């Protein structure tokens, strides 16, 4: 293949210890790798299935250096890895995707500017560093518009929908002094994502588009194939290919997209790692997004990203635990439904605790089946 392959048996390093790291570690172990994980947590979702769990602050560069020296490659499962941490890791082991990918994707203004400059269609946006910036941006955007903090937000945190000047007055104090971005409100028909993988040799494969629906700004249901026409599907995949190529990604990156009423496809945001919407690839595709991440960061050939059947995924959030441990036995009575739990001890509302996947003859049937399985879980109050 013209470059060094990190062979099965080697040790892979994961920064971050949530469910994405856990599913990476499971895929890596299946391929015969060892996995070390570093995060500030103990007995974490990833640590429970890793060969070594290092508990250290990301800012502890001595611990990061020691960690990176002990592995053949370092990857990550979230985009808010601090820049000095990424730099330190990269001094001792290949960091894949590279630090430049983190730099672009961890700040919304940089991310959207990169997309615009690369000629990739993106939600119209205006950087906002002051109230004057916001007022000026609103004269162009009009109402409604969406104000977001530029860094650190996820699952709708640090976002405000502005419908009028009254909303601006009410919401601005929470953004004052914080680097922010104003976005045009997109009247979308649907939201889709494309999870792409790119190898060390530049090979690209993708899943999708996957169609997503959110509840309270958190992903709720994903299904494939998305209910979009062939042109939209092709455009979504070509956008993802362009993003991975422009960013020279080695690994997995998810592109979240809006499909507008007039059939345009616009990027909402990027996630430089496997994505919640891609969890259905574990049960419904020849190669899942996590195995693809292993293959890509190890310089191996990518796997076939072919769908076996239409499929749907439903997230299991902490509120399902309101009256105690959910009735797993009842969901599993639907014997074709697959249950994935992340090993998290505390079930807080909104926290992603696990997911269910169902296959079906059609995406509608798969969605109905996964919703049926989820509906039997809660204990009555």
Query: In the complex, which residues of this chain contact ligand AMP (CB under 6 A)?
Result: 123, 146, 153, 156, 183, 185-186, 191, 214, 217, 256, 268-269
Q: Cβ of 82: how many Cβ atoms within 10 Å?
A: 16
Rounded distance, CA 226 to CA 302, Å? Answer: 23
Kindly state the smallest distance separating residue 213's Cβ from ligand AMP, in Å. Answer: 9
**What's the residue count for the chain?**
381
Pick 38 or 219: Cβ nearer ligand AMP = 219
How do beta strands 11-15 and 73-76 pair? Answer: parallel
Kindly state the smallest distance separating residue 156's Cβ from ligand AMP, in Å. Answer: 5
Pick 247 or 270: Cβ nearer ligand AMP = 270
Pick 77 or 269: Cβ nearer ligand AMP = 269
Rounded distance, CA 61 to CA 89, Å? Answer: 8
Rounded distance, CA 264 to CA 280, Å? Answer: 26
Kindly state the smallest distance separating residue 189's Cβ from ligand AMP, in Å. Answer: 12
200 Cβ contact partners less than 8 Å away, ≥ 6 residues apart: 1, 3, 250, 296, 299
Kindly state the smallest distance separating residue 126's Cβ from ligand AMP, in Å. Answer: 12
Kindly state the smallest distance separating residue 360's Cβ from ligand AMP, in Å. Answer: 24
Pick 134 or 250: Cβ nearer ligand AMP = 134
Kindly state the smallest distance separating residue 261's Cβ from ligand AMP, in Å. Answer: 12
Kindly state the smallest distance separating residue 355's Cβ from ligand AMP, in Å. Answer: 17
Pick 36 or 108: Cβ nearer ligand AMP = 108
Strands (E) located in 29-78? 34-39, 52-55, 73-76
Pick 15 or 162: Cβ nearer ligand AMP = 162
Angle at 50 between CA 349 and CA 194, to 5 degrees: 60
Kindly state the smallest distance separating residue 29's Cβ from ligand AMP, in Å. Answer: 31
How do beta strands 159-162 and 180-184 pair? Answer: unpaired
Pick 154 or 328: Cβ nearer ligand AMP = 154
Kindly state the smallest distance separating residue 124's Cβ from ligand AMP, in Å. Answer: 8
Q: Cβ of 87: how many Cβ atoms within 10 Å?
A: 14
Pick 19 or 46: Cβ nearer ligand AMP = 19
Pick 72 or 123: Cβ nearer ligand AMP = 123
CB-side exposure of 324: number of CA atoms within 13 Å?
A: 5
307 Cβ contact partners less than 8 Å away, ≥ 6 residues apart: 207, 224, 225, 284, 285
Rg (Cα) of the chain, in Å, rounded? 21
Report the SS3 class of residue 318.
helix
DSSP, res 95: B
DSSP, res 86: H
Q: Cβ of 368: how many Cβ atoms within 10 Å?
A: 14
């Amino acid at each position: 293949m013209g470059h060094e392959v990190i062979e099965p048996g080697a040790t892979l390093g994961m920064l971050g210890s949530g469910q994405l790291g856990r599913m990476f570690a499971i895929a890596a172990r299946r391929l015969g790798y060892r996995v070390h994980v570093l995060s500030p947590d103990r007995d974490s979702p990833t640590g429970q299935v890793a060969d070594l769990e290092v508990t250290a602050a990301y800012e502890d560069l001595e611990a990061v250096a020691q960690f990176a020296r002990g592995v053949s490659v370092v990857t990550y499962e979230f985009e808010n890895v601090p820049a000095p941490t990424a730099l330190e890791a990269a001094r001792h082991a290949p960091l894949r995707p590279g630090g430049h990918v983190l730099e672009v994707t961890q700040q919304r203004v940089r991310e959207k500017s990169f997309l615009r400059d690369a000629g990739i269609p993106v939600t119209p946006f205006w950087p906002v560093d002051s109230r004057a910036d916001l007022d000026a941006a609103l004269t162009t955007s009009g109402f409604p518009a969406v104000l977001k903090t530029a860094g650190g937000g996820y699952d709708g945190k640090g976002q405000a929908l502005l419908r009028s000047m009254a909303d601006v007055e009410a919401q601005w104090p929470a953004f004052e002094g914080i680097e922010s971005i104003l976005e045009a409100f997109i009247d979308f028909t649907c939201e889709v994502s494309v999870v792409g993988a790119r190898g060390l040799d530049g090979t690209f494969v993708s899943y999708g588009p996957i169609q997503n629906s959110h509840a309270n700004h958190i992903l709720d249901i994903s299904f494939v194939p998305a209910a979009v026409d062939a042109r939209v599907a092709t455009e979504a995949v070509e956008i993802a290919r362009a993003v991975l190529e422009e960013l020279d990604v080695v690994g997995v990156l998810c592109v979240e997209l809006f499909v507008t009423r007039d059939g345009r496809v616009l990027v909402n945001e990027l996630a430089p790692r496997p994505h919640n919407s891609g969890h259905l690839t574990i049960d419904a595709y020849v190669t899942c997004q996590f195995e693809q991440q292993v293959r890509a960061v190890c310089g191996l050939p990518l796997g076939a990203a072919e769908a076996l059947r239409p499929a749907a995924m439903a997230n299991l959030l902490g509120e399902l635990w309101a009256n105690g441990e959910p009735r797993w036995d009842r969901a599993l009575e639907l014997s074709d439904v697959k249950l994935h739990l992340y090993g998290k001890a505390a079930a807080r509302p909104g926290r992603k605790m696990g997911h269910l996947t169902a296959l079906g003859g059609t995406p509608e049937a798969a969605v109905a089946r996964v919703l049926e399985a989820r509906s039997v879980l809660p204990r009555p109050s």
